[in-house]
Structure 1
Amino acid sequence: MTNGLPTYSSAVQEKMRLHSKGAASWFIPVSLAIPGIHTRRLRLLLPNPVRLQHFVVSRSGRKRGTLLLFIIILVIFYATFALAKRWGSKEKQWPAPPWQGPPSTLVYRRDDLQRIWEWEIASGHYPSSRKIPEQIGFTSPAINPALPPKKPVSLPSRFRPPFVTNSQGIGPKRVYLDIQSQPPRVAYPPRPVPGSVADLDVIMEHCDFTNKKYVRDCLEVLRLGGGLDNQARLRRGRMDDWKYIYAEQGDVDWSLNVTERPHAAKDAAARGIISRSGVEASAELTKKRGVDWEPPLKLSSPLQYEPASALSSPCDENHPRLFHMFWAGAFTDKPYLALLSFLFTQNVGLHTSPDEHATNVCRPQFWLWINPGPAASVPNPNAQRDMFDSLKANPWAAPFLHPRFKDVIYFKLWNTTEQLDGVPELKEEWRALSDTLFNSGGVIVNVPADKQQHPAGTGAAKASPTSMPTSEDDDPLHRLGSKSVDTYDRMSVILSDMARFVLCHRFGGIYLDADTIFLRDWEELWGWRGAFAYRWSRLEKYNTAVLKLNKNSALGTFLFRTALKNGLDFHPMTVSQYTKDAFLEDLLLRLPDALFDSAWLNTEWFQRDRPPQPYFTEFVDFFDTPLQNSASPSALGFDGFFKGAYSYHFHNFWWKPFDPARNWPDLGVRFAATERIARAAAEIQMEQEEMVADDKRDLDWATVLKRTFEAYIRGERPNMYGEWIDW
């Protein structure tokens, strides 16, 4: 009622309400079901809200009483968590409420996190102006040799924040480049300037989905700033803000290193190790429950940062240019196309004489790691020889064993035991987790001892990278490669989640998933010395389908030790939690997916009002282009495919051929022998005359890209930069 008086349907109801035990009692019994026990229930006594309200309102009035009751509830709620924080353990072992997200994975104290930041910055792995999180607790700026000097802002002491969030640049000057084709070479874009660097801060400004940036606009900035528009550039006004590639001029000015670094023993409080109250500052961090803090980090000396112009050779041995890829199962057209796209786009020198190499260019290498058997198996002692025998007999793999590619493409044998023993942070402890080695996102796949294969000579069959399907294919533990949606090789995917971090930490370089196609030269990405992955579509999580991690870095040590205390889980979502809990996300920069995965947002119903081109609503559109758009692939060709992006990720579909009508390697007379093997499998003879009628009328995007790369190897067209292969 508007007058606030209670109403009843009858006098009997009013009398029962006023004199009932429930209204008079301060506590009321509540019966709850006990999971698993159907015959009994749990009885609890809870405060009676009706009695409490009646008590407060009868003494303070309806309006004031309701307000007072609300204040009492807030005070009780606040006091509960205040007492938990004040009297709880230093590591905050109380379970986090559901709204605070998943439990913490942190195992390092604040002083170790500070040392990780300092090591990475001093090594030149943070050429960024992005803020360092306040939670790291720096009270003086770290010296940054990869960032040019900037005039410091002087603030009165009373206005200075308690913690410093910037680094002090002492690096060389940056000159942002206007990259365009110069006459007479205007038909193709120019190669990137050797030693140039991509300013990922600028790219984030134009491409970050969090700031409502469109993939379409990002690709325009990428292709114009990278000079990929060559003779087709249109008038756009001043584009200085779109220049994201720079060259470093001058040397590191170490004389600017005038920051007085505080002594750990002399001023521990200033470093954030001890708070002003005298309590260990790590108590303010949320440690992983059930484990102890990790011992203090033992890090090597930071790397000596040198700009590209100061290096004695084009290649920096501390930052090797290695592309890694992991493959399990029979070698198919998927790694075949990844390797062809690498040769078509990267500056590997195939346009020069085999005896001549450019002296100012660092040629990248492609290391393809072959897992010779099911992920849960142990390779036999002859696996190395068997691997190369299988590659020679495989029509998709054999062309890359040609001597012309011997300095840029390498096939490597993957051995899980050897690789994990090669990681100092794991080698003494990983065997204790052998039962949970296949851990992805907290979901553990157990491998029983009786299901594991053993080395040859003890009764096990040899594993081969080109093994044919067997009766064990229905067993997920023995699958080797994904041959259909229903026989997805989940074990190899989990193993590859770990393999990418192991390979980059041991050898350095960039890892790419095998469902990746190169779309342009990565020179300026190599110039950025920091680590990065890219964004998981709309989510602020990593997708490590592309992962750059420096060799033996402090960040790598953190990731492996943290993963060891979290079940060796290297799923991208879990790695996202590792860096978030430790405030290290900017050391593993999360780049926009527009750079490597331009269709992803569209496939999840985002940005369809202004999509990039080509317009894919599903990833399968790459293989089966819709009829309404199927005129585009042949008409536009390679240049019309997400131009500006560095690569394209087609997300699995291992079982769908790129070119169903010509499902064999079509590389010309030099590779006729291997082509004959593939044609025979398709029951098509080499001598059979090819008819246009036998081909698909509208070619899909996957087919156009495959045939474009193959035409380059055959010598029928140049690569994307106008360079003809020199056999």
Structure 2
Amino acid sequence: MSSSAFLPTSRKQNGFRDSYNSLPTYSSAVEEKRHRQGSSSWTTPIYIPLPGVRTRRLRIPFPNARMIHQFSVSRFGHKRGPAMLLVGLLVILWTLVAFTQRIGTHEKEWRKAFPGPPSTLVFHRADLQHIWKWEIASGHYPSRQRLPVGLGLTASVENPALPAPRAELPSRFKPPGNVQTRSKGIGPRRTYLNVHSKPPDVAYPPRPVSGSIADLDVVMEHCDFSLNKYVRDCLEVLRVGAGLDNGKRLRRGTMDNWKYIYSEKVNSSYVPPTINIHDETHTMQISVDSDPDNGLTKKRGAEWDGQVVLPHPLKYQPYKTLPEPCDENHPRLFHMFWTGPFTDKPYLALLSFLFTQHTGIHLEENKELSGVCKPKFWLWINPGPAAAVPNPSAVHDMYAQLKSNPWASPFLHPRFKGVIEFKLWNTTEQLDGVAELKHEWRSRDLFNSGGHVISVPSSKQSSSVTAASATGNGTVGHNPGPTGSEKADSDDVLNRTGSKSSSSYDRLSVILSDMARFILCHRFGGIYLDADTIFLRDWEELWGWKGAFAYRWSRLEKYNTAVLRLNKQSALGKFLFRTALKNNLDFHPMTVSRYMKDAHLEPLLLRLPDALFDPAWLNVEDYQRDRPAQPFFTDFANLFDTPAVGSAAPQALGFEGFFRGSFSYHFHNFWWKPFDPARNWPDLGERFKAGEMIARASAAAGNSTASADVSVNTGEERVEDDRRDLDWATVLKRTFESYIRGERPNMYGEWIQW
């Protein structure tokens, strides 16, 4: 009986690796002859297959080792030949290494050959060190993260917001030389909390503990995209750590590594430490070079800015040592900026604020929250085009417009007094209110975004004021229709008041808001949010973390300032305004990223993962689609037009199924798309019926169906007139409205009291 034998793959005598059932192949007889007989040339060809071309190969000449070896032996002998060959190889290797080191040590020459973005730096190293010391001493750096080496600190700075280390850092973790990259903790101990609902009260999550703090170092460990962390996993850690998985906790076992919320442990005898930031032992150079700014690149054509003049640092006070629940040095103010007629976008932002934050409206009207610092919401209104100057009666006109606008008027109700406040934005007044800008801003371009300047002639500013006074009342259904010339003029880029479509984007207002957020936080303190933001949970723990922050620009290591925390009159704020002034008042987030990087100040403005405020962004840009978060958005428009394949989720899961764990959601513009197309009016119940009927009439004016007319005239509605599948935007709007109507509690189980 015949049998077959398996011949493993081996290297044949012809030099080709062959399998048991194949024969050696050559592209030509000449190739086979050269391979078998060897070559007398100094080079030998190597043939590489071409993808998609089976009959041809790429011929690459390669040094012929056989000829080189024969030459060395014939010239120097059998013993000296190989040795000389080895010496030659070492010389070639040394030459390559020396060339590489030369390039590495001449960084400036290398940058000239491959120029990057020009430097924006206008501060000496001593000033940057002073800024760092002031922020740390004021408790604005409660982080264990390293300080930049380029800062050149040679003595550790005492950090009152960081607990003292339990053991000395091993020497192998310390940087070489005398440069210090860690602050020295001298603050109170931290107790990490196990936050969860206790039976039988598991229907709703518990409110955060007053004075609790989010350890954002821990958050970064679980959420940082640079560490390949998934948004889905980050949100689970955020949910579990805050007790938002109430009644649905599926994890068992110890979850100490997921605890990111802590409180500071102090006794009655605790005294805030006094830190001297003017200690000259902290004033250092990065090297023994005679130039103290060695390694820093100054902005071309600009002079170094004058020495930073800072007041004494703030005394860091743990929450339990405050005489009142609210810290006057760190006011809890949410800021939002709005231009043009009031619409459903700021309406929903305010409703989500009331639905999630600890405002006290669930208590009787005259009863105060005990031991709780209530946040406030300041909505800044720019009444006309961004380039216009408000008229003398602007404040009176603003409130008249708000009262007549059904989307805005509900928030003027006395129940929301002290919780929501409308503020008039005046660009001149605000810029003059910033000490670092007031004497010089008039010589700069106000509308500069990423280096792109939009010029606004003075004649256009005055005409914009006239147009705003004539047609800017913002009342739904009550504005007279503009003539053809007026419509064309109002659509001009200089006269737009709000973005009415993707083709008529109000670019000037966007640029103005880029600057306004820094001004508001620096002047008044607090957190700024873009108007296309929806609150998803209480921000108590973020208020407790006293540092400044923004969040990451999706996959890029840049800032997005759609959420911005900046402390009142801080050293960091002074740096930003002086730097922006020397860079023509450019506050675009990408430019701010350069300001911070060039000055080695990035850790002072923490770049939080976008999972906390913008959880759909990575999915929208084609990242992490193998394990997306819930809901799965491939486009920001999915909020308003949920794809049919996932359209059952909004009604089935509701608010609790919408990026649970995130602090907020940023839907990136879409100002022109209604949240609830079928019921595009405020639906807040009998208390606000008058405004609702005005909005219904406005909606009916653009709808020719009979059912819409019946709904307006008689109040009768049929559920058949509603959409069968409700989009996520609609579900969120109707959830918040049902809370105001008193039909359900807020997300923490609290019922509104009128």
Please classify the TM superposition score into its range, dividing by the shorter chain length. 0.7 to 0.9
Residue 331 of structure 2 aligns to which amino acid in structure 1?
P
Compared with structure 1, are the counterparts of its residues 427 and 62 closer, same or farther at alpha carbon in structure 2 (3 Å cutoff)? farther
> Equivalent residue for 1:427?
438
Residue 726 of structure 2 aligns to which amino acid in structure 1?
L
> Aligned pair 1:453/2:462, yes or no?
yes
Compared with structure 1, are the counterparts of its residues 159 and 220 closer, same or farther at alpha carbon in structure 2 (3 Å cutoff)? closer
Q: Is the 8 A contact 1:440 1:494 kept in 2?
A: yes
> Aligned pair 1:647/2:664, yes or no?
yes
How much has 1:344 moved relative to structure 2? 0.2
> Equivalent residue for 2:127?
112
Cα distance in 2 for residues equivalent to 1:136 and 1:315 = 34
Q: Is the 8 A contact 2:447 2:455 kept in 1?
A: yes
Where do 1:223-242 residues align within 5 Å? 223-242=239-258
> Aligned pair 1:374/2:412, yes or no?
no
Q: 2:283 aligns with which of 262, 265, 271?
A: 271
Where do 1:141-180 residues align within 5 Å? 141-150=156-165, 151-153=167-169, 155=171, 161-180=177-196
> Equivalent residue for 1:624?
641
> Equivalent residue for 2:222?
206
Secondary structure at the aligned position of 2:400 is classed as helix
> Equivalent residue for 2:408?
397
> Equivalent residue for 1:35?
none
Cα distance in 1 for residues equivalent to 2:408 and 2:455 = 33
Residue 355 of structure 1 aligns to which amino acid in structure 2?
N
Cα distance in 2 for residues equivalent to 1:532 and 1:2 = 69
Cα distance in 2 for residues equivalent to 1:175 and 1:359 = 22
Cα distance in 2 for residues equivalent to 1:500 and 1:235 = 40
> Equivalent residue for 2:111?
96
How much has 1:273 moved relative to structure 2? 3.8
Q: 1:466 aligns with which of 466, 474, 490?
A: 474
Cα distance in 2 for residues equivalent to 1:274 and 1:725 = 58
Secondary structure at the aligned position of 1:366 is classed as strand
Q: Is the 8 A contact 1:308 1:314 kept in 2?
A: yes
**Identity score, percent:** 63
> Equivalent residue for 1:125?
140
> Aligned pair 1:439/2:448, yes or no?
yes
Q: 2:740 aligns with which of 698, 702, 713?
A: 713
Cα distance in 2 for residues equivalent to 1:158 and 1:242 = 27
Q: Is the 8 A contact 1:379 1:415 kept in 2?
A: yes
> Aligned pair 1:329/2:346, yes or no?
no
How much has 1:76 moved relative to structure 2? 7.8
Q: Give TM-score, length-normalised by structure 2.
A: 0.83
Q: Is the 8 A contact 2:534 2:666 kept in 1?
A: yes
Q: Give TM-score, length-normalised by structure 1.
A: 0.86
How much has 1:689 moved relative to structure 2? 1.4
How much has 1:471 moved relative to structure 2? 2.7
How much has 1:99 moved relative to structure 2? 4.6
4+ residue segments displaced more than 6 Å: 61-82, 156-159, 252-262
Q: Is the 8 A contact 1:437 1:568 kept in 2?
A: yes
> Aligned pair 1:593/2:610, yes or no?
yes
Cα distance in 2 for residues equivalent to 1:459 and 1:643 = 44
Compared with structure 1, are the counterparts of its residues 69 and 168 closer, same or farther at alpha carbon in structure 2 (3 Å cutoff)? closer
Compared with structure 1, are the counterparts of its residues 463 and 128 closer, same or farther at alpha carbon in structure 2 (3 Å cutoff)? farther
Compared with structure 1, are the counterparts of its residues 493 and 607 closer, same or farther at alpha carbon in structure 2 (3 Å cutoff)? same
> Equivalent residue for 2:5?
none
Deviates more, 1:138-147 or 1:189-198: 138-147
> Equivalent residue for 1:483?
500
C-alpha distance after superposition, 1:330-359 (max 9, x if no partner) = 100000000000000000001100100112
Cα distance in 1 for residues equivalent to 2:505 and 2:392 = 27
Residue 96 of structure 1 aligns to which amino acid in structure 2?
R
Compared with structure 1, are the counterparts of its residues 274 and 206 closer, same or farther at alpha carbon in structure 2 (3 Å cutoff)? closer
How much has 1:98 moved relative to structure 2? 6.6
Q: Is the 8 A contact 2:126 2:283 kept in 1?
A: yes
Cα distance in 2 for residues equivalent to 1:169 and 1:253 = 19
> Equivalent residue for 1:291?
302
> Aligned pair 1:307/2:318, yes or no?
yes
Q: Give ranges in structure 1 of 5+ residues lacking alignment.
A: 8-60, 86-91
Deviates more, 1:447-456 or 1:397-406: 447-456
Secondary structure at the aligned position of 1:231 is classed as coil
Cα distance in 2 for residues equivalent to 1:224 and 1:190 = 12
> Equivalent residue for 2:725?
698
Compared with structure 1, are the counterparts of its residues 154 and 354 closer, same or farther at alpha carbon in structure 2 (3 Å cutoff)? same
Q: Is the 8 A contact 1:334 1:514 kept in 2?
A: yes
> Equivalent residue for 2:535?
518
Secondary structure at the aligned position of 1:145 is classed as strand
Cα distance in 2 for residues equivalent to 1:320 and 1:3 = 82
Aligned length: 658
Q: Is the 8 A contact 1:623 1:658 kept in 2?
A: yes
Q: 1:687 aligns with which of 689, 706, 714?
A: 714
Secondary structure at the aligned position of 1:478 is classed as coil
Compared with structure 1, are the counterparts of its residues 333 and 459 closer, same or farther at alpha carbon in structure 2 (3 Å cutoff)? closer
How much has 1:437 moved relative to structure 2? 1.2
Compared with structure 1, are the counterparts of its residues 452 and 66 closer, same or farther at alpha carbon in structure 2 (3 Å cutoff)? farther
How much has 1:235 moved relative to structure 2? 3.1
Cα distance in 1 for residues equivalent to 2:173 and 2:743 = 69
> Equivalent residue for 1:26?
none
> Equivalent residue for 1:88?
none
Secondary structure at the aligned position of 1:338 is classed as helix
Residue 217 of structure 2 aligns to which amino acid in structure 1?
D
Secondary structure at the aligned position of 2:550 is classed as strand
> Equivalent residue for 1:347?
358
Residue 129 of structure 1 aligns to which amino acid in structure 2?
R
Residue 234 of structure 1 aligns to which amino acid in structure 2?
L
How much has 1:257 moved relative to structure 2? 7.5
Compared with structure 1, are the counterparts of its residues 227 and 76 closer, same or farther at alpha carbon in structure 2 (3 Å cutoff)? closer
Cα distance in 2 for residues equivalent to 1:643 and 1:539 = 24
Cα distance in 2 for residues equivalent to 1:580 and 1:157 = 24
Secondary structure at the aligned position of 1:175 is classed as strand
Compared with structure 1, are the counterparts of its residues 686 and 500 closer, same or farther at alpha carbon in structure 2 (3 Å cutoff)? farther
Secondary structure at the aligned position of 2:653 is classed as helix
How much has 1:682 moved relative to structure 2? 1.6
Compared with structure 1, are the counterparts of its residues 627 and 346 closer, same or farther at alpha carbon in structure 2 (3 Å cutoff)? same
Cα distance in 1 for residues equivalent to 2:272 and 2:716 = 72
Compared with structure 1, are the counterparts of its residues 255 and 223 closer, same or farther at alpha carbon in structure 2 (3 Å cutoff)? closer
Compared with structure 1, are the counterparts of its residues 645 and 674 closer, same or farther at alpha carbon in structure 2 (3 Å cutoff)? same
C-alpha distance after superposition, 1:285-314 (max 9, x if no partner) = 111111111111100110011000000111
Cα distance in 1 for residues equivalent to 2:440 and 2:89 = 59
Larger radius of gyration: 2
Compared with structure 1, are the counterparts of its residues 624 and 253 closer, same or farther at alpha carbon in structure 2 (3 Å cutoff)? same
How much has 1:464 moved relative to structure 2? 3.0
Coordinate RMSD, CA, aligned? 2.8
Deviates more, 1:321-330 or 1:376-385: 376-385
Cα distance in 2 for residues equivalent to 1:158 and 1:193 = 37
How much has 1:626 moved relative to structure 2? 0.4
Q: Is the 8 A contact 2:385 2:468 kept in 1?
A: no
How much has 1:559 moved relative to structure 2? 0.4
Residue 246 of structure 2 aligns to which amino acid in structure 1?
N
Cα distance in 1 for residues equivalent to 2:682 and 2:273 = 57
How much has 1:137 moved relative to structure 2? 1.2
Cα distance in 2 for residues equivalent to 1:658 and 1:158 = 54
How much has 1:275 moved relative to structure 2? 3.8
Compared with structure 1, are the counterparts of its residues 220 and 141 closer, same or farther at alpha carbon in structure 2 (3 Å cutoff)? same
Q: Is the 8 A contact 1:379 1:463 kept in 2?
A: no
Cα distance in 1 for residues equivalent to 2:739 and 2:272 = 50
